[in-house]
Amino acid sequence: MAVTESELAESALDRGVIDALRELPSPDGRSMIVCVAELFMQDSPALLQQMQQAVQREDWLALAAAVHALKSYAGNVGALRFMAQLRELELTAKAGDGLQCIALLAPIPEVCSTVVAALAREAACS
């Protein structure tokens, strides 16, 4: 049985984290889910670009640093599976295994897009 895009987006975020964020007020009075979703959507493209550039330069420490930043964002928004993928990539980058880094990086942009879509939907519901 195929998983629909909607189901994939729904499973991209941990419901407990999203519900907790929805309850927290932000400094400007909006729901915290809206604030963290906006930050993730704003900053993730640049981090993905930094990752690609680091791989092109074979700069595994720079890759690890960019992955670490995105991993932190993923945790903050409840994208726990994505965070686990990023953790594996970060550890591989720190180990300097270039071929494995390339393989692990390949699905990251698509998964990130799925997280962005799920966050956009959650933010719209707030």
- Where in the chain are the domains? 14-22+31-124
Task: State the burial class of residue 2 (Cβ atoms within 10 Å of its Cβ: 0-12, 13-18, 19+).
Answer: exposed
Q: Determine the pLDDT at residue 5.
A: 47
> Do residues 40 and 116 lie in contact, with contact meaning Cβ atoms separated by under 8 Å?
yes
Structure-token match 């409840």, residue found: 78
Q: Determine the pLDDT at residue 56.
A: 97
CA 24 from centre of chain: 21
CA pair distance 90, 94, nearest whole angstrom:
6
Q: Report the pLDDT averaged over residues 26-36.
A: 84
Q: Residue 7 pLDDT more than 80?
A: no
CA pair distance 33, 12, nearest whole angstrom:
15
Helix (H, G, I), strand (E, B) or coil at 25: strand
Q: Determine the pLDDT at residue 30.
A: 81
Q: Determine the pLDDT at residue 23.
A: 86
Poorest-pLDDT segment among 2-11, 86-95, 114-123: 2-11
Q: Nearest to residue 87, comparing CAs of 67, 102, 101, 103?
A: 67
CA pair distance 18, 34, nearest whole angstrom:
10
Which positions ≥6 away from 40 have C-beta within 8 Å?
73, 74, 76, 77, 115, 116, 119
Q: Which residue has the higher pLDDT, 53 or 28?
A: 53
| CATH code reported for the domain at 14-22+31-124 | 1.20.120
